[in-house]
Structure 1
Amino acid sequence: MSWLLHNLHIHLILLCCLSSLNFGFSATIQSSNETDRLSLLAIKAKIIDDPLHVLSSWNDSIHFCMWQGIKCEHRGQRVTVLDSQSRKLVGSISPHLGNLSFMRELQLQNNSFGNEIPLEIGHLTRLQILKLNNNSIGGRIPVNLSSCANLIEIDFSYNGLAGEVPVDLSFLSKLATVIIHDNNLTGSLSPLANLSSLKALSAAENFFDGSIPDGFGQLKNLQKLAIGINRLSGVILPSLFNLSSLTMFNVTGNQIQGSLPWDLGITLPNIEFFNIGDNQFTGLIPASISNSSKLHYLMMVQNKLVGKVPNLERLRNLEWLSISGNQLGSGEADDLNFISSLINATNLQVLGVNLNNFGGELPESIGNLSGNLQVLYLDNNKIFGSIPPGIVNLVGLQSLYMQVNQLTSTIPSEIGKLQNLQELNLINNSLSGNIPSSLGNLSLLSELVLGINNFQGNIPQSLGNCNNWQLLFLSQNNLNGVVPTQGVFSNTSAISVVGNSKLCGGVTELQLPKCDFKVDKKGRPNTTLILALSIPFGLLGLALVGSILYLCYFRKTRKETPLDASDNSLLKASYQNLVKATDGFSSFNLIGVSSFGSVYKGVLDGRIVAVKVLNLSRRGASKSFISECEALRNIRHRNLVKVLTACSTVDYQGNEFKALVYEFMINGSLEEWLHQNPEKDLSNEELRMLNLLQRLNIIIDVACALNYLHNQVQTPIVHCDLKPSNVLLDKDMIGHVGDFGLAKFLLDYATHDLSTNETSSVGIRGTIGYTAPEYGMGSEVSTYGDIYSFGILVLEMFTGKRPTDEMFKDGLSLHSFVKGALPWSVLEVADPILLEAKEEDEEEETSKENSKK
């Protein structure tokens, strides 16, 4: 009996101990759970706007592990994932985040978080994935982020981070992906070159300087290196080009020097994307590049490369080849033989070889290039001979540029086979013969530039059939006969026929002489001439009658259409297409920020375009989209930026998405030319100077655009925001007025109550310094407001000073500044660049005179 009691006593003691241990363990879990719950509530307290009500579930009615965006581990019920990406949240990141000690993933990208990254983030020692991209976070990268020893991926892109990359980050031995592009980071890239597990680095569009660190060449796992648009200089060591794992190499937009190694294509067998554009590379294009058979994109624009282009027949996967703006070629007959080697690239879409020294004739085999080829740049070379007839086999071609060469002979008569052709530029050659009438069959053709050649004969009547004309330039040829009047020929702002002395007729605005139809010697009308004229004009009359009947029917049916149908009148582009066109709205393609969004460069259906993505969180953005669509769908002028299509849909997260697609202006905005950004060093600064003649021409372009908007459209349009950043320059430095987000139809003010919020609010819109003073006092929007802005623009162009310059205070303005200098002190207020150019011209003239003596 005593033995049983003794055993029972022991069992009771053990049971009490186990119960005590279990109670202690439960208390620990409860305590830890409570810490996580309170930390989440503290994070919620820092959110000041939650339009999608994402955090509405963050309350005591359910366990915090069931809150939206939260995941917990199964056993301990500790938070492991906080995922609130793309939820339109506004606020800052709470320091209490550091208490979620079991956190493995933190994803807050695509929101509007501000302030700084809290130092407490360094307490998350289990953290593996950290994504804070596409917010408004400033400050520095926390030094103690190096305590997160398990980090695999960080993404801080599209923020406002500043300062240098902490040296301690080099201790993160597991870090494989670092994405920090589009910030304001400075200093060296060296700390990132010591990350032994690094596979992908994207640090583009910052202010990193110095040379590319040697350490990158030792990262045997490195696959993607994107460090373009910084201030990097020096030469690239061979070890970096020996990384056989590299699939992407992008150093565009720096000041890197040196030559490419001869064995580049051998040491980089897996390279798919290679971009060294806008640097100072010299020497030859290595012949071994053809061994990189996986290449899709090869871009070497704007360097100092010389010699001939090697055989590229092994690059079967090539989609984009651009070697423009170098010193390639020698002017010899075989310079363009490499084009024949590209026939194996069956998916080639863009080929740019312009702005070089290529000579010789175009090979007939150019017609055997990929049927997917959409853009072909051959302009500004020394190409001679005829246009190969086989070029009409490039049925996918949309843009063909061959201007400023030495081409002779005629345009192939079967050019009409290129049914996708939108732009054809052959200006400044020695082409002759008739303009093919088959060009009139190209229904998508919008720009035909054939000026400064030797074309003869009549202007084809068929050209009037095209409905998308933006520019028809036939000046400085030997054309004769009657100028048609139908279609584009009635729009004098879209056509130019000057310099053809034998042309007659046309619309009155062309101011051509009347056509003199002669009679025979007996005074009787020439029967042949009568028949030649009566038949086409009779057919034209029938066509006009048919058109009138059709318009009557169209107007009748239009009355039955809802008023909002006009919103769908533009062609539509899908969100997926725009994502692909801009490489996922990559920072590499970001070219500017407009009034209500960001503008990206992209390739849509083979055409280089500018995609304006509206920031719909900004007040008035949706209204701006409607205004711009409404304005641009009704107007066409060579000095207005052309809208190609629009997109109004939802993105992959279900958020509203609106974008406009414009023609791309290669020379950027007038703002960039007048006021160079001191934050971005320009290696070709001399190319960013506008001389007097260029400024005059741009002013004329802007004046023509305003005249059209105010006086030549059915309902006058007021731009409301004319300024240098809204004047874009194409490849020929022709000015185009853009950004119609604030534009207003004057009809609106004739049919609406001016006291409403809509109209009164417009009166104070615009940009400070350029907006007419009367708008600030509530006056109606009128064309006079644009004229005021135009005057300020002219003064800025010739003084080089913004109207908001710091010197303009205490009653002094740009206007009074210039007025006070008239008429005797003009040189004192003129842009110094103009004076420098004048001195250079005088020195050059003096030098020429001395050499003659």
Structure 2
Amino acid sequence: MKSRIAFYFSSLVTILITTTMIFVSHGSNETDYQALLQFKSMITNDPLSSWNTSFHFCDWRGVSCGKRHRRVTSLSLNSRGLQGSLSPHVGNLSFLRQLDLMNNSFQGTIPNELSRLSRLNFLYLGINKFEGVIPTNLSHCSNIERLSLASNKLVGSIPKELGFLSKLTAISVQDNNLTGGLSSFLGNITSIKVFSARNNPLGGSIPETLGHWKSLTEFYCGGCNLYGNIPHSIFNLSLLTRFSLARNQLTGDLPSAIGEMLPNLELLQLSRNLLTGPLSPSISNMSNLTFLEVNNNNFSGKLTTDFGKLKNIYFLSLAFNSFRSGEADSMKFLDTLGNCTRLELLRLDNCKFQGVLPTTIGNLSDQLGLLNLEGNYLYGNLPSSIGNLVGLETLVLARNGFTGKIPSTFGKLQKLQIVDLSRNQFLGPIPDAIGNLSLLITLDISFNRLESHIPSSIGNCHQLSELYLNDNKINGKIPIQLVQLSTLSIALILSRNNLSGSLPIEVGKLTMLTSLDLSDNNLSGDIPSSLGSCTSLVFFSLKGNLFQGTIPSSLSSMRGASKLDLSHNNLSGQIPRFLEGFILLEYVNLSFNDLEGEVPVIGVFANSSAFSILGNTKLCGGLAELGLPKCNKMNRNHKKRFPLFIILLIPIASTFSIVLCFVYVWCKKKKDQPCQSSPEAQSNMQVLSYSQLLKATNGFSKDNLIGEGGFSSVYKGTTDHDDKFVAVKVLRLQTRGAHKSFIAECEAWRNIRHRNLLKIINICSSVDFQGNEFKALVYEFMPNGSLHDWLHSSATKSRLNLLQRINILIDVASALDYLHNHCLPTIVHCDLKPSNILLDHEMVAHVGDFGLAKFLGTNSNQNSTSGIRGTIGYAPPEYGIGNEMTSSGDVYSFGILLLETMTGKRPTDNTFNEGLNIHKFAYMALPDHVTDVIDHDLLNFLQEDVIDTKCTLKNAKNIEECLSSTIKIGVSCSMDSPSQRMKIEKVVNELRHILDMLLNM
């Protein structure tokens, strides 16, 4: 009996204990469950649809729980497109060890309640839009090991309280707006291995206490406005592998034994500071060094470093220092560089080196792609051994004192694309071997003492886009082969030489040329009328020659010209009236010719400081301040009677005016007729009239203006019946081509439907309240603006993360694939660029603006806007020479758009000069140096920022591989030859493959 009672009692106790445990467990689980629901409730979009009662919350996407207590231990929602605020209820997840919300769009402040997460090891909030300060009470998370708050909008200082986090191994706060310097208390975190605060306006000096970071391997504080000396204690951190303090105001010398103190360094980046003293020879002891950048400092003295010991170095930049030693062998150190077989870039420009360039220059690595010796005091002959550097793509020797002939061995450098030998004392002829450089893009040999003729072999340089031969002693005729180079698009400058003969009529083939300067030669004959084909010219000068005859009327097509100089010739006839209509013309010089007749008073001639007509004694009229005699009727009209057509025109004009009055009255009656609407619009939205659009846009006010194009202005509007935002594109019908653009766009929208194409709601064709014709297109409003805004606007710049950029590129490529391969007939967009890529509330991309669209294989809209072939920088080169618009042209534009998206640089960026363009800029970085060209903010995904992604080194390399693969697509799409461009359907597949790789890391 007793045993039975004992059994029942034991069972009861067990039941009670179990029940209590279940109750406690459910109670704790309920806390986590409610915290997750509160977290979801503050997400403004809805990517967490799987978070529902169909599954236990431990099985929700991104949620991990412990096996024993079923408590949430990890909330990992990296790169999920989340928008909204971070709920303070996350602080109730008391068992949480990892919180990863990186690469989303969280806004607002970082909740103080995170301090309650005492078990937290990893906190990743980087690449979001968090504002406010870093909570000081994060110091209560005593177990935290990695903290990433990079790429947000945080202000204030780095809390000194972080110094209490004794387990921290990595801190990343770069790319914010933090101030207040680096607190000395941070030195207490002796476990730190990686610290990155670059690109913050921190200010202050580097505290000596950071020398306590004995485990430190990576340190990035570039662009932080730091000043003072680098503490000596920093140089005792012998485990350092990557050390970057570029773009600060640091002063003082480097330790003479720096090579022994930091033997493990792989990257040393101290450029753009105020450092002084010698560059220590002990650097040669950093045997692992691959990247040395110390340019733009005040280092001085003779350079005696034995670079031959740095066998792994590929990037060496010593430019803009003062290594002038007063000795003729200051370039002796070049002998040691012959052992650096991996060297790819060598910048020694503006270092004040002097002496003869040693022949050992030819022993440098055959991998060397860039050699820059500009702005030194080098003299003597250029060694013929330069021809051994067969890997060279860029060679800059400008502003030295080289003499003698340009060696014929130049012809061996067949990879050369940019050559600058300007401002030296080179003698003799331009070598015929220059024609072997078939990849040459830029050639500058200006300001030398070259003689003889321009070799006809230069016509073999089929990639040449700019040529500068000015300020030499070159004679003979301009070779026809030169002016037949249709690739010349930037500049052809032959001024101040002794050229003679006529200007070949083939000059008309330079249809893409921007600057043509033939001034101060001995050219003669008539100005060829074929110059009228050079419609891209902005600067044009024939000054100081012997040209005669009249100014050809064909020049009227050069309407983009801003500066025109035909002075000091023997030109006759009248000043062409077409110059009055050149709205971009800033200055015209027609002085010292033999011109006659009336001087215009319209356009550029309305401002006496914008033109010169001195030395033309037969001119009359014009502005009063010119002091010219008045023109009589004979001078002005050359006839005493009105021409017959004027006489006939008067009654016709009177009759036409009466007709116009009737038309005006009729239009007033029709002014509020409803706009025409597409069938789809009729089913989704009521028909809008002109007055409704006027009201919707607040009278087309500037406050509602959200964009402008060549033919239109776009306004944000609100419809009365449902308060829905729309975008109203109003055509500027007075602009030539606007009508055709409207027709082309209407025709395109009538034939296409795709999720990545902008949705049209209405097409409005009516009259305004003054009886003027009015045309507008009404689109679905895109709340996130254009891709251009996200790439270049200060308000949104740098907020696009890697996954967002890849997704946008996939969206655009998918739209093109639809237009090219799934539409009948095939549609070519013809104006693909970031400003025409609109983003909806979920950051899905929509291609818009079909005003230049062309339908292939039909007679409809074959030339929607005659003479307009896309936008400069995005239009393919074949359009510039008159070729038909094709789908391959869209692929080229997509390639440029892709490269702009990944590099953050416009194709018209000021850095792209001397023959460099965005295609070449990207191509030169492949395959191993793609991170050199990637938009700075995307570098968070590489090994410098392993902390941000919790990547292993392997994953970091995988991300770099993804970046490289993406750039390769852009380069392939933007090839000059249409046949070499990647097919758009392959582009889509390749980009989706890259996206899969990123998502599976």
Q: What letter matches 2:274 in structure 1?
A: Q
CA contact (8 A) 2:158 2:180 kept: yes
Any residues of structure 2 matched to 1:833-848 within 5 Å, and which? Answer: none
The one-letter code matched in structure 2 to 1:118 is: P
Partner Cα separation in structure 2 for residue 445 and residue 667 of structure 1: 15
Q: Identity rate of aligned residues, in percent?
A: 38
Match in the other structure for 1:734: none
C-alpha displacement of 1:362: 1.3
**Matching residue within 205, 217, 229 for 1:223:** 217
Residues 110-509 of structure 1 aligned to structure 2 (within 5 Å) = 110-190=103-183, 191-310=185-304, 311-486=306-481, 494-507=491-504
Distance in 2 between residues matched to 1:216 and 1:592, nearest whole Å: 36
Check the 8 A contact 2:397/2:421 in 1, yes or no. Answer: yes
Secondary structure (helix, strand or coil) at the match of 1:217 reads helix
Q: Distance in 1 between matches of 2:319 and 2:908?
A: 20
Which residue does 1:12 correspond to in 2?
A: 8
Partner of residue 73, structure 1: 66
Give the whole-Å Cα distance in 1 for the aligned partners of 2:419 and 2:450: 15
**1:193 shift after superposition:** 2.5
The answer to whether the 8 A contact 1:128-1:151 is kept is yes
- How many angstroms does 1:612 deviate by? 10
What amino acid is aligned across from residue 506 of structure 1 in structure 2? L
Q: Distance in 1 between matches of 2:893 and 2:277?
A: 40
Q: Distance in 2 between matches of 1:598 and 1:443?
A: 38
Q: Which stretch has the larger CA shift, 34-43 or 280-289?
A: 34-43
For the residue of structure 2 that corresponds to 1:17, the secondary structure is helix
The one-letter amino acid paired with 2:229 is V
Question: What are the superposed Cα offsets for residues 585-626 of structure 1, whole Å, 9 maximum, x if unpaired?
Answer: xxxxx99767985599xxxxxxxxxx9999967687866999
Distance 1:330 1:461, change over 3 A: same
Q: Name the SS for the 2:342 alignment partner.
A: coil
Amino acid at match of 1:282: T
Q: Which amino acid aligns with 1:473?
A: Y
Task: Measure the CA separation in 1 of the matches of 2:893 and 2:362.
Answer: 28
Partner residue, 1:38: 34
Shift of 1:631: 3.5
- Residue type matched to 1:39 in 2? A
Q: 1:623 to 1:488 in 2, by over 3 A?
A: farther
Cα distance change of structure 1 residues 636 and 447 upon mapping to structure 2, 3 Å threshold: farther
Contact 1:482 1:515 in 2 (8 A): no
Greater alpha carbon shift after TM alignment, 86-95 vs 400-409? 86-95
Please give the per-residue CA displacement for 1:503-538, whole angstroms capped at 9, x wherever unaligned. Answer: 43334674765579xxxxxxxxxxxxxxxxxxxxxx
CA contact (8 A) 1:457 1:478 kept: yes
What is the one-letter code of the residue matched to 1:631?
A
Counterparts of 1:591 and 1:307, CA distance in 2: 43
Contact 2:476 2:498 in 1 (8 A): no
1:584-733 correspondence runs (5 A) = 598=798, 630-631=874-875, 633=877, 646=895, 662=907, 665=910
Q: Secondary structure at the match of 2:239?
A: coil
Q: Aligned pair 1:26/2:22, yes or no?
A: yes
Displacement of 1:416 after TM fit?
2.1
Instruction: Identify if the C-alpha distance between structure 1 residues 594 and 440 changes in structure 2 by more than 3 Å, giving closer, same or farther.
Output: farther
Deviates more, 1:439-448 or 1:242-251: 439-448
Residues 282-318 of structure 1 show CA distances to partners (whole Å, capped at 9, x for unaligned) of 1100111110111111111111110111222211111
Cα 1:457/1:82, change in 2 over 3 Å = same
Tell me if the contact between 2:307 and 2:340 (Cα under 8 Å) persists in the aligned partners. no
Amino acid in the other structure paired with 2:4:
L
Q: Secondary structure at the match of 1:427?
A: coil
Decide whether aligned partners of structure 1 residues 48 and 129 sit closer, same or farther in structure 2, where only a CA change above 3 A counts.
Answer: same
Change (3 A) 1:599 1:266: farther
- Shift in CA distance, 135/400, structure 1 to aligned 2, threshold 3 Å: same
1: CA distance, partners of 2:58 / 2:327: 73
* C-alpha separation in 2, matches of 1:657 and 1:210: 33
Say which SS state the counterpart of residue 464 (structure 1) adopts: helix
By how many angstroms is 1:194 displaced? 2.0
* Structure 2 CA distance for aligned equivalents of residues 645 and 391 of structure 1: 38
- Structure 2: tracts of 5 or more residues without a match: 508-517, 526-747, 749-789, 801-832, 851-869, 882-891, 914-1001
Where 2:34 maps in the other structure, the secondary structure is helix
Output the amino acid matched with 1:452: F
**1:599–1:504 CA distance, 2 compared to 1 (3 A):** farther
1:492: how far off? 8.3
**Whole-angstrom CA distance in 1 between matches of 2:233 and 2:363:** 39
* Distance 1:649-1:31 versus aligned 2 partners, 3 A rule: farther
Q: 1:237 to 1:451 in 2, by over 3 A?
A: same
C-alpha distance in structure 2 between counterparts of 1:86 and 1:366, whole Å = 49
Q: Residues 85-100 of structure 1: matches in 2 within 5 Å?
A: 85-100=78-93
Q: 2:838 and 2:62 mapped to 1: Cα distance?
A: 24
Computing the radius of gyration from Cα coordinates, the structure with the larger value is 2
What is the alpha-carbon distance in structure 2 between the residues aligned to residue 117 and residue 401 of structure 1?
50
Alignment map for 1:673-822 (pairs within 5 Å) = none
Report the CA distance shift for 1:596/1:423 in structure 2 as closer, same or farther (over 3 A).
farther
Q: Deviations over 1:90-141 (max 9, x none)?
A: 1111111111111111111111111011111111111111111111111111
In structure 2, distance between residues paired with 1:624 and 1:378 = 47
- The alpha-carbon deviation at position 254 of structure 1 amounts to 1.1
Q: Distance in 2 between matches of 1:341 and 1:266?
A: 20
Q: Which amino acid aligns with 1:240?
A: I
d(CA) in 1 for partners of 2:391 and 2:156?
A: 48
Gaps of 5+ in 1: 517-562, 564-589, 601-610, 638-642, 669-853
Give the whole-Å Cα distance in 1 for the aligned partners of 2:799 and 2:498. 44
User: Secondary structure at 2:497's aligned position in 1?
Assistant: coil
- Give TM-score, length-normalised by structure 1: 0.63
SS of residue matched to 2:22: helix
Q: Counterpart of 2:10 in 1: which secondary structure? A: helix
In 2: Cα distance, 1:424 partner to 1:205 partner: 34
Query: 1:401-442: per-residue Cα shift (whole Å, max 9, x none)?
Result: 110000011222121222221100011000012212222222
Task: Note the C-alpha offset of 1:62.
Answer: 0.9
CA distance in 1 between counterparts of 2:799 and 2:361 reads 34
Give, in whole Å, the separation in 2 of the partners of 1:393 and 1:621. Answer: 51
Query: 1:220/1:595 Cα in 2 relative to 1: closer, same or farther (>3 Å)?
Result: closer
CA distance in 2, matches of 1:496, 1:112: 50
Alpha-carbon RMSD across the aligned residues, in angstroms, is: 3.3
